[in-house]
């Protein structure tokens, strides 16, 4: 094979870039000295369906992938001697490409040095305005403005019932309560994506923690918590959820739901139907997940070494897609192996290619986040800007987040989540400053906040309870957020 020095490709080999369905990408291969020959690009661009099918068959049929999604496409030589090709990006997915040169009379290709160029293609309508309103439906009840807190007599009565072993669970906010505020959230605040904390049934007695129980302790991944619905003989809890979905879509917004599929609550349906999917220690004790040195004692870990569990979870997410859900926040997603996510996302995208997958990787390694964005094909990931406080920390972290957004997938800056203290608990000025920082530092409008930020709510969101949102507070940052 003839050796050719200084053969170069643009975009550079080894580079990664985020683009959008409907974009085009142009590759240029430069050959010094005008050497005679032809040039080609080897790529899987345009063959996402074939790639997904290979991923699915590898899990379901145990058939190894054969790279059938890869093709060689001829490039055109320009008057300058460079070779050029422009390819349309018409599918969502993770793609790779690399140019090569075939010198005249030779049988071996000449490649530029370096690994493949990576192109992560996102849904077209996520190129801008990706502002997320994180809603905890339970908090939209009678106490959302703080007026429904129990008085001293009620607290005494509740405490006495607790002491006697009774279960006391107050009335929850409902899907219809949240639907009444959509005009405010979408039109007034300007949020285009409504992201719900988990809406699955939660423990009420056995394995319950806190007053309400945690929505992350799911008893059924496809079920809807009846506490989030009103009793209506004309509409089941699931139908009331789809009413909310329709109301969001009618306002040209998207709705995503939080799915905590790394674990279940105690006595979940899967404990009966698939006890083999529970993660146990050598003595047979069911394992409980955790992070930051804290064990989540109301949760039971699932064993993702079982590939039939992967298939079940993919079908769960497809069920929600059929109900109109536009995407998923994947809680503790970094705890699930990359190959499992790769299969699950491929299976969902095979039917719903524009589905958004948001990785919650807080507490995990940055390298794992980048791997899941690229190889598993997540769209977005949580930025950790909200956990960087002083100037030095922000200046150190922000370039990393910007690089991830440009190369791997959007790093969404949440001003506040249920995992951190309320900004307004420090001061209203601080809340406005941090909200502005996260919004103005975002890429493609990838900015989010928890319900109540707009009202300067200062009671931390405890997922086992239903603290007030300070709704309607005269002092607020509604106009500030709308302007951002």
364-391 confidence digits (pLDDT tens): 899 999 999 999 999 999 999 999 999 9
Alpha helices, DSSP H, located in 282-334? 307-322
Q: Is residue 2 part of a domain?
A: no
Q: What is the DSSP letter of 183?
A: I
Rounded Cα–Cα distance for residues 156 and 162 (Å): 10
- pLDDT digit string (tens) for 39-94? 999 999 999 999 999 999 999 999 999 999 999 999 999 999 999 999 999 999 99
Domain C-terminal end among 106, 122, 138: 122
Q: pLDDT tens, 8-18?
A: 999 999 999 99
Helix 307-322 crosses helix 48-60 at what angle (to 10 degrees)? 130
**Per residue in 329-344, pLDDT tens?**
999 999 999 999 999 9
CATH of residue 61's domain is 2.60.40.10
Q: What is the pTM of this model?
A: 0.96
Among the listed residues 367, 375, 306, the one whose alpha carbon sits nearest the alpha carbon of residue 338:
375
Domain's final residue, options 64, 88, 122: 122
Mean pLDDT of 103-120: 96
- Do 150 and 271 fall within a single domain? yes
pLDDT category at 321 given cuts 50, 70, 90 is very high
Of 152 and 120, more confident: 120
Residues ≥6 apart with Cβ < 8 Å to 282? none
Indicate whether 288 and 308 sit together in one domain: yes
Q: Report residue 1's pLDDT band, with 50, 70 and 90 as the boundaries.
A: very low
Q: What is the mean pLDDT of residues 216-234?
A: 98
Q: Are 122 and 92 in contact (CB under 8 A)?
A: yes
Contacts of 25 (CB under 8 A, 6+ apart): 11, 19, 45, 86, 87, 89, 119
Distance (Å, whole) CA 303 – CA 210:
26
**Same domain assignment for residues 14 and 153:** no
User: CB within 8 A of 471, min separation 6: which ones?
Assistant: 144, 145, 146, 452, 455
Same domain, 448 and 356: yes
- In tens, the pLDDT along 258-291 reads 999 999 999 999 999 999 999 999 999 999 998 8
Beta strands in 313-371 (DSSP E): 327-330, 356-359
148-152, 240-244, 347-351: which has the minimum mean pLDDT?
148-152
The DSSP output letter for 472 is T
115 and 130 belong to one structural domain: no
218 and 364 fall within a common domain: yes
What does the chain come to in residues? 484
Domain annotation covers residue 114:
yes
pLDDT at 148: 86
| pLDDT surpassing 90 at residue 362 | no
Same domain, 238 and 291: yes
Residues 335 and 470 grouped into a single domain: yes
Among 417, 366, 346, residue whose Cα is nearest residue 91: 346
| 80 and 192 assigned to the same domain | no
Is residue 463 a part of any domain in this protein? Answer: yes
Q: What percent of the chain has pLDDT over 90?
A: 94
Cβ neighbours for 341, distance < 8 A, ≥ 6 positions apart: 330, 333, 372, 376, 378
116 and 216: one domain?
Answer: no
| Cα 421–chain centre separation | 22
Q: Which of 41, 36, 42, 7 is nearest to 103 (CA)?
A: 36
Within a domain: residue 3?
Answer: no
Task: Note the pLDDT of residue 2.
Answer: 55
My answer on whether 95 and 148 are in the same domain is no
Query: Does residue 37 carry a pLDDT above 90?
Result: yes
Local confidence band at 5 (pLDDT 50, 70, 90 cut-offs) = confident
Q: Using an 8 Å Cβ cutoff, are 453 and 477 in contact?
A: yes
Domain contains 367: yes
For residue 114, pLDDT over 50 is answered with yes
Give the residue from 105, 122, 139 where a domain finishes: 122
In this structure, are 131 and 118 located in the same domain? no
Residue 460: CATH number of its domain: 3.20.20.80
Question: What is the C-alpha to C-alpha distance for residues 22 and 121, in angstroms, rounded to an integer?
Answer: 9
Q: Calculate the CA 250 to chain-centre distance.
A: 23
pLDDT above 50: residue 302: yes
Range of the domain at 142: 126-483
Count up the domains in the chain and report the number. 2
């Amino acid at each position: 094979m003839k050796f050719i020095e200084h053969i170069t490709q643009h975009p550079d080999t080894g580079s990664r870039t985020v683009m959008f369905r409907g974009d085009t990408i142009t590759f240029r291969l430069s050959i010094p000295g005008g050497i005679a020959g032809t040039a080609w690009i080897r790529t899987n661009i345009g063959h996402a369906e074939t790639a997904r099918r290979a991923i699915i068959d590898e899990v379901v049929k145990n058939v190894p992938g054969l790279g059938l999604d890869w093709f060689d496409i001829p490039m055109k030589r320009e008057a300058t001697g460079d070779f050029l090709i422009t390819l349309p990006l018409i599918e969502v997915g993770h793609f790779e490409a690399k140019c090569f040169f075939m010198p005249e009379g030779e049988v071996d290709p000449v490649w530029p040095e370096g690994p493949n160029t990576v192109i992560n293609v996102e849904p077209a309508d996520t190129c801008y305005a990706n502002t997320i309103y994180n809603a905890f439906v339970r908090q939209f009840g009678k106490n959302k403005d703080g007026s429904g807190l129990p008085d001293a007599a009620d607290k005494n009565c509740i405490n006495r019932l607790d002491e006697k072993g009774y279960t006391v669970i107050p009335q929850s906010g409902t899907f219809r309560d949240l639907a009444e505020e959509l005009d405010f959230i979408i039109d007034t605040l300007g949020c285009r994506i409504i992201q719900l904390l988990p809406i699955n049934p939660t423990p009420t007695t056995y394995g319950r923690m806190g007053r309400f129980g945690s929505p992350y302790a799911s008893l059924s991944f496809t079920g809807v918590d009846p506490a989030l619905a009103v009793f209506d003989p004309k509409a089941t809890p699931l139908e009331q959820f789809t009413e909310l979905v329709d109301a969001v879509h009618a306002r040209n917004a998207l709705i995503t739901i939080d799915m905590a599929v790394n674990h279940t609550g105690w006595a979940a349906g899967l404990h009966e139907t698939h006890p083999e999917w529970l993660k146990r220690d050598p003595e047979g004790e069911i394992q409980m997940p955790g992070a930051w040195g804290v064990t989540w004692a109301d949760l039971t870990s699932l064993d993702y070494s079982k590939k039939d569990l992967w298939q079940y979870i993919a079908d769960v997410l497809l069920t929600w897609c059929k109900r109109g859900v536009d995407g998923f926040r994947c809680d503790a997603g970094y705890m699930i192996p990359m190959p499992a996510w790769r299969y699950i996302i491929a299976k969902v995208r095979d039917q719903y290619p524009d589905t958004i997958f948001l990785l919650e990787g807080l507490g995990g390694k940055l390298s794992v986040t980048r791997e899941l964005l690229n190889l598993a094909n997540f769209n977005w990931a949580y930025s950790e800007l909200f956990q960087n406080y002083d100037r030095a920390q922000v200046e150190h972290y922000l370039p990393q987040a910007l690089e991830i957004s440009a190369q791997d997938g959007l790093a969404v800056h949440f001003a506040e989540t249920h995992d951190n203290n309320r900004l307004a608990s420090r001061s209203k000025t601080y809340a406005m400053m941090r909200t502005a920082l996260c919004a103005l530092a975002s890429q493609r409008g990838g900015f989010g906040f928890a319900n109540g930020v707009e009202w300067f709510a200062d009671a931390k969101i405890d997922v086992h309870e239903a603290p007030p949102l300070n709704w309607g507070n005269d002092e607020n940052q509604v106009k500030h957020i709308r302007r951002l």
